[in-house]
Amino acid sequence: MNNIYFRVDMNSQIATGHMMRCLSIADEVREQGGEAIFITADENACELLTERGFDYIVLNTKWDRMEDELPKLESIIDEKKIKKLIIDSYYATEKYLNAVDKWTKILYIDDLNRKDLQVSTILSYPVYADENFYKKYYLEDKVKLLIGADYTPLRRVFRDVPDKKIRKNIERVLILSGGSDPYDTIKQCINVLIENNIREIYAIYGRYSDRVDTIKNTYKNEQRVHVYESVDNIEKYMQEADLCISASGTTLYELCACGTPTLSYILADNQIDNALGFDKKGIIPCLGDVRKENIANRISEELEKMKSEVNRKDLSEKMKSVVDGQGCRRIVGEFG
């Protein structure tokens, strides 16, 4: 098993999604006997990487100006004799990839249906990923294509999750915001759930949210509301929830692996295709874009539909059929 390096960042602007999926792949690399090392622009991810037991190299560059880092990166690739590099950033330009491709073998994680990728392997796992699109723009004898939800990079805890037990009534609802909650969506959701007499409400904020203490204070006298920040065992909350309301990032795939009926909402441009893709397939209804609209009424409407045990069971089965949790094993098998 070869060592694999990861070029990825996380911060309050881009949140944690890119880093978390790379960490999932890195765990699999380590499990298969290799070593995973991270390369980051700044020190924002250092604490997390240390917690997870991974070595890292900090470039001390601008995360959103990746072309500027090329001289430093070339030196590191040469010094460390890097043979394989996974790149996960929307700021990796065509020029950047063209340069790095000459120095080492690249796997690029693409969520945006890019046509300009100069790499040896493309990974595109979103539910809306179109294999025919990639085959149109990339010759398979030159670029290996890992396309579709079978390659969803989830942590091992989401592998072989038992089928969801669907209760007769919705008693526990989980609200997830992703890395941050810039539009105060969690508060909006909590208020609607209280109005709808949900017995237990669990709200979990991401690492970069600054609203946790405020929300805890707001609902300190509401015994059914439980507020947490960046928990380590998110899968436990997902499995125990009867319903989840979530931002539309990688979390939706984790919820699929758990089979937890879910309502999604959009809070960034890079979540639009994901949310609409799941909605169009009738797997996860989308509540709307919180940057443009108040989703309170939509939550109430969807809650009425979700009261049906049959409806929730149907959605749960559809979700489980999309993601089996084996994606990282497949990715490392193809690229490692």
Evaluate whether 4-147 and 161-322 have a shared fold: yes
Residue 209's pLDDT is: 83
Do 57 and 69 meet the contact criterion of CB atoms below 8 Å apart?
no
Reply yes or no on whether the pLDDT at 316 is more than 90.
yes
Mean pLDDT of 297-311: 96
User: Helix %, strand %, coil % for the chain, to 5?
Assistant: 40, 20, 40
Q: At what angle do helices 94-101 and 70-80 cross, to 10 degrees?
A: 20
User: What average pLDDT does range 159-179 have in this prediction?
Assistant: 93
Q: Does position 207 have pLDDT exceeding 90, yes or no?
A: no
Q: Summarize the confidence of residues 300-324 as an average pLDDT.
A: 96
Q: Tell me what the pLDDT averaged over the chain comes to.
A: 95
Pick the CATH number of 4-147 from 3.30.465.10, 3.40.50.11190, 3.40.30.10, 3.40.47.10: 3.40.50.11190
Query: CA-CA distance, 269 to 280, in Å (whole number)?
Result: 17
Tokens of residue 304, six digits = 């009425």
Tell me how many degrees the CA angle 229-230-231 measures, rounded to the nearest 5.
100
User: Which residue from 321, 317, 177, 318 is spatially nearest to 244, judged by alpha carbons?
Assistant: 177
Q: What's the pLDDT tens digit per position in 231-270?
A: 989 999 999 999 999 999 889 999 999 999 999 999 989 8
- What pLDDT, in 10s, does the model give residues 6-32? 999 999 888 888 999 999 999 999 999
pLDDT number for residue 314: 97
Residue in the structure block whose two tokens are 């072989």: 160
Helix, strand or coil for residue 201? strand
Name the token pair of 252: 């939706």
% of residues, the chain, pLDDT over 70: 100
CB 271 within 8 A of CB 163: no
pTM of the predicted protein model: 0.87
Residue 124 in this model has a pLDDT that exceeds 90: yes
Which homologous superfamily does the CATH classification assign to the domain defined by 161-322? Glycogen Phosphorylase B; (3.40.50.2000)
Q: Find out whether 227 and 212 touch, Cβ atoms under 8 Å.
A: yes
Six token digits for residue 244: 């989840």
Is pLDDT above 80 for 334? yes
pLDDT tens digits along 63-114: 999 999 999 999 999 999 999 999 999 999 999 999 999 999 999 999 989 9
pLDDT band at 206 (very low <50, low <70, confident <90, very high): confident
Identify the pLDDT of residue 140: 84
pLDDT for res 288: 97
Rounded to 10°, the helix 296-306/185-195 angle is: 50
Q: Is the pLDDT of residue 179 over 90?
A: no
The residue ranges of every structural domain in the chain are 4-147, 161-322
